[in-house]
Chain A
C-alpha cells in the first residue's frame, strides 16, 4: 500500500509526463501543419450568401407537393433555408389578408387561389414580378403557359403587371366510367344533353348505384359545380364590365337542367361537398362526376386506393349552346410587397414552376402541371392518364369573374342555386332574386 507521500510523487511524475507529451505533440504537429495553414487560408472561397424564406401556403396535397419542391430546391441550393406554414383554405385566406393588409414582412412568398388575385392585386399588396425579374436580370419564360393563366396572374386581369405565377394547374374536367359507357354503347359526352341521356340509360341498366353526382352544398361548392353548366348554356353571372348582373333566361334554363340532373344523383346531393362526390367516384358508386378536380383522381388508378383502377375516362366538361367552359382553380405564387427577400423568393418561384420540376412533381405527387410542354409529355401521359385532358382544359378554361367583390357575389349565387336544388325556390324566381342582390352588391 503506497504512503500518502509516495502517492503524491507518482501523481506528480504522471502529470509532468502528460504535460511534456502534450507540449511536444503540439510543437511537432504545428511544425507539420504550418505550411498548409499559410497556403490555404487566403484561397478559402467566400461562403455563399445565405437566404431564409418564409412561405405561407395551403395544407393537404398542396403541402405535400410544395414541401417536396422545397426539399429538391434546398438540396440543390444549400444556402437557402425555407420554412413552409401550411393552413386550411379558410384559415390561409384569413391569415393572408391580415398579413398583407398590415404590410407584414413575415412572409416572403404566398400561395394563392386565383379568385383572390383581383383583391390582392387591386390593393397593391403584391410585387410586380416582371419588374423584379428585370431588376435581378432574370428572363421570364411565359410562352409555355396557357395564355389564360398568365392573364389571370396580371393585375388588372389581362392588361396589368404580372403579380403572380401559376404553380398548380387545377381545372375542372369531366370524369366518367368508360366500362359502363362501353357496355351500354354510349359515346363520350360532348354536350350536357348527352350527359342527361347517359344518366337515363345508366339508371335503367342498374350497372352503377347512381348515374351522376356533383357538389350541391350552399356557397362556393355548388357555385363552382354549376358554372360550367351555366356557361355551356350561354349564360353569364356578370356583365363584361363587371358592373351588373348578367343572369337571364339562359341561367333559368341551366338551373332547370340542373334539376333534371338531380333526379339521377344520390339523395341529399344538395348537401354534397368534395368528399361526398370524390369518394363515390373512386369508390365506383357513380358513373359520372360533372366536375372533377385533378386532386380527386390523382390516385384513381391505384388499386390500393381506388375501386375503379383503369376504369375512369376523362374529357373536358361538356358544352351545350356554346363550347365547353370548365372553371379555372389554379394556385399561384406571389411575393408580398413588404417582403425583404424578393430576389431570393423569385428564384424559388422560377425553380418551382420550371418544366423540370413540374414534371417531377406530376410524376411523384400528382401535381396538375401548368406548362403546355409538360402536358404534352408522352411519358407523363402514360403515368397520369388525366394530365393531357387537364392541360387541354386549361386552354379553354374560364376564370371566375375578376372582381374583388367575387366572394360576396359567389355566396349569393351559390346560396340561390342551392335553394333551387333544395326545392325552396323556382329557377325563374331564383334568377330574379339573385340578380337583384348581385346588382345591389355591385352598386354599393
Chain B
C-alpha cells in the first residue's frame, strides 16, 4: 500500500521525464560538444562552447537586451494591469462590456500583433506617425532607430500582455473580503491608505504570480523581434532566443546553440527563483 502513491504518479512522472528532463539533459550533452549538422563535425569540447559564447559580443548584447526588455516589460505590464484592475474593480457602469474589450489584444497571435503594429509604426504611412503629424509633432523612426526599436517592442508586448496581468490581478481583487474595506471606511481611512494597507498586502501573492509569469515569458522574446526588426537595426533588438534560433537553425551549430540555451535556462531560473520562493514557500 505504501507504493500506491508512487504508482499513481508514475504515468505523469514518465511523461515529465520525456518532455522536460530528457530535453534538458540532451541540451546539456550537446552543449559539451562541437556539433554542426552542416559540416558534420561532432567532437567533445568540454566547456569550450560556453567560453566562446561568453566572449561573443553579439551574445553579450543579446543577454543585455533580453534583460532590459524583460525588466521593462514585466514591470510596466504589472503596473498597468494593476491600475486597470483597481479601476475596473470600482462600481462603474458597463463593466461587463469593458472587461472583454480590455482582454481583446491577448486574443491575437504574436505574429498577427507584430504585423499589425509594423504597419502602424511605419515611418511614412503608419497610423502612429500620422497622429503625431496631425498633432504637430515630428514623426518618429519607431522600428528603425537604435534608441527606439527595443522600446517599441516593449510597447507592443505591453499592449498584448497587460490584459492577462489585469485578469489575474482583477481576480485577486475580487477575492478580497468587502468587509475589510467597509471597516476601513468606518474607521475613516482615506482611499490611498486603504490601498496601501489592505489591497496591496492581500494582492501580494497575485502580484508575485504575475511578475513570475511575465518575467519568464518576456525572457523568451522571439516572435515579435523576428517579425518586426529581425534583431536590428544594428543589434539593437537582438535577444537570446533569436540568437539561439539563428545559431541552431540557420547555422546549424547545435553545440553552441545548446550552450546558449542552457545559459538561458540558468538565467531564467535565477530571475524567477526569487518569485518561485515567494509563491511556493511563503
Decide if B146 touches A411 in the complex (CB within 8 Å). Answer: no
Decide if A268 touches B144 in the complex (CB within 8 Å). Answer: yes
Q: Give the chain B neighbours of A119 by CB distance below 8 A.
A: 38
In the complex, B246 has a CB within 8 A of chain A: yes
Q: A411-B246, A411-B250, A422-B146 are in contact. Are A270 and B233 (CB under 8 A)?
A: yes
Closest chain B residue to A411, Cβ basis: B246
- Would you list which residues of chain B between 193 and 251 have a CB under 8 Å from chain A? 229-236, 246, 249-251
Distance, CA A408 to CA B250, complexed state (A): 8
Q: A267-B123, A268-B144, A407-B250 are in contact. Are A218 and B37 (CB under 8 A)?
A: no
- Contact partner of B251 (CB less than 8 A), chosen from A101, A266, A411, is A411
Decide if A424 touches B234 in the complex (CB within 8 Å). Answer: yes
Decide if B230 touches A218 in the complex (CB within 8 Å). Answer: yes
Distance, CA A150 to CA B42, complexed state (A): 33
Decide if B232 touches A123 in the complex (CB within 8 Å). Answer: no
Decide if A422 touches B37 in the complex (CB within 8 Å). Answer: no
- Would you list which residues of chain A between 69 and 109 have a CB under 8 Å from chain B? 90, 93-94, 97, 101
Decide if B37 touches A271 in the complex (CB within 8 Å). Answer: no
Q: Give the chain B neighbours of A209 by CB distance below 8 A.
A: 124
Decide if B234 touches A218 in the complex (CB within 8 Å). Answer: yes
**Binary interface profile of B, 164-191, with partner A (CB < 8 Å = 1, else 0)?**
0000000000000000000000000000
Decide if A422 touches B232 in the complex (CB within 8 Å). Answer: yes
In the complex, how many residues of chain A place their beta carbon closer than 8 angstroms to a beta carbon of chain B?
30
In the complex, B154 has a CB within 8 A of chain A: no
Decide if B232 touches A268 in the complex (CB within 8 Å). Answer: no
A/B pair count, beta carbons within 8 Å: 77
In the complex, B39 has a CB within 8 A of chain A: yes
- Would you list which residues of chain B between 139 and 163 have a CB under 8 Å from chain A? 141, 143-144, 146, 149
Q: Nearest Cβ distance between residue B146 and chain A, in whole angstroms? A: 6
Closest chain A residue to B143, Cβ basis: A271
Q: Give the chain A neighbours of B38 by CB distance below 8 A.
A: 97, 119, 123, 404
**Binary interface profile of B, 88-100, with partner A (CB < 8 Å = 1, else 0)?**
0000000000000
- Would you list which residues of chain B between 244 and 277 have a CB under 8 Å from chain A? 246, 249-253
Q: Nearest Cβ distance between residue B68 and chain A, in whole angstroms? A: 17
- Would you list which residues of chain A between 48 and 85 have a CB under 8 Å from chain B? none
Distance, CA A440 to CA B246, complexed state (A): 18
Q: Nearest Cβ distance between residue B201 and chain A, in whole angstroms? A: 46
**Binary interface profile of B, 61-88, with partner A (CB < 8 Å = 1, else 0)?**
0000000000000000000000000000
Distance, CA A418 to CA B124, complexed state (A): 20
In the complex, A297 has a CB within 8 A of chain B: no
**Binary interface profile of A, 410-436, with partner B (CB < 8 Å = 1, else 0)?**
010001001101101100000000000
Q: Give the chain B neighbours of A411 by CB distance below 8 A.
A: 246, 250-251
Q: Nearest Cβ distance between residue B258 and chain A, in whole angstroms? A: 16
Q: Give the chain A neighbours of B40 by CB distance below 8 A.
A: 123
Distance, CA A408 to CA B235, complexed state (A): 16
Closest chain B residue to A268, Cβ basis: B144
Q: Nearest Cβ distance between residue A148 and chain B, in whole angstroms? A: 24
Decide if B37 touches A97 in the complex (CB within 8 Å). Answer: yes
Distance, CA A101 to CA B231, complexed state (A): 29
Q: Give the chain B neighbours of A419 by CB distance below 8 A.
A: 233-235
Q: A97-B252, A217-B230, A266-B123 are in contact. Are A424 and B144 (CB under 8 A)?
A: no
**Binary interface profile of A, 243-275, with partner B (CB < 8 Å = 1, else 0)?**
000000000000000000000001111110100
Q: Nearest Cβ distance between residue B110 and chain A, in whole angstroms? A: 16
In the complex, A219 has a CB within 8 A of chain B: yes
Q: A270-B144, A271-B143, A411-B250 are in contact. Are A422 and B234 (CB under 8 A)?
A: yes
Q: Give the chain A neighbours of B229 by CB distance below 8 A.
A: 217-218, 271
Q: Nearest Cβ distance between residue B177 and chain A, in whole angstroms? A: 52
- Contact partner of B146 (CB less than 8 A), chosen from A97, A123, A267, A424, is A424
Closest chain A residue to B58, Cβ basis: A415
Q: Give the chain B neighbours of A97 by CB distance below 8 A.
A: 37-38, 252
Q: Give the chain A neighbours of B146 by CB distance below 8 A.
A: 422, 424
Closest chain A residue to B251, Cβ basis: A408
Q: Nearest Cβ distance between residue A167 and chain B, in whole angstroms? A: 23
Decide if A270 touches B232 in the complex (CB within 8 Å). Answer: yes
Distance, CA A82 to CA B124, complexed state (A): 45
Q: A123-B40, A404-B38 are in contact. Are A267 and B144 (CB under 8 A)?
A: yes
Distance, CA A115 to CA B146, complexed state (A): 30
Distance, CA A268 to CA B230, complexed state (A): 14
Decide if A404 touches B233 in the complex (CB within 8 Å). Answer: no
- Contact partner of B233 (CB less than 8 A), chosen from A90, A93, A218, A266, is A218
- Would you list which residues of chain A between 121 and 157 have a CB under 8 Å from chain B? 123
Q: Nearest Cβ distance between residue B38 and chain A, in whole angstroms? A: 5
Known pairs A415-B234, A418-B234, A419-B235; list 18 more (Cβ under 8 Å): A90-B249, A93-B250, A218-B229, A218-B233, A218-B235, A219-B230, A267-B123, A267-B141, A270-B232, A271-B232, A405-B39, A407-B250, A407-B251, A411-B246, A419-B233, A421-B233, A422-B232, A422-B234
Q: Shortest 9 CB-CB distances between A and B: which pairs?
A: A218-B232, A268-B144, A271-B144, A422-B233, A419-B234, A268-B123, A424-B234, A408-B251, A422-B234
Chain A to chain B contacts (Cβ below 8 Å), 20 pairs:
A90-B250, A97-B252, A119-B38, A209-B124, A218-B231, A218-B234, A219-B232, A266-B124, A267-B144, A270-B232, A271-B144, A271-B232, A271-B233, A404-B39, A411-B246, A411-B250, A415-B58, A415-B235, A422-B232, A422-B233
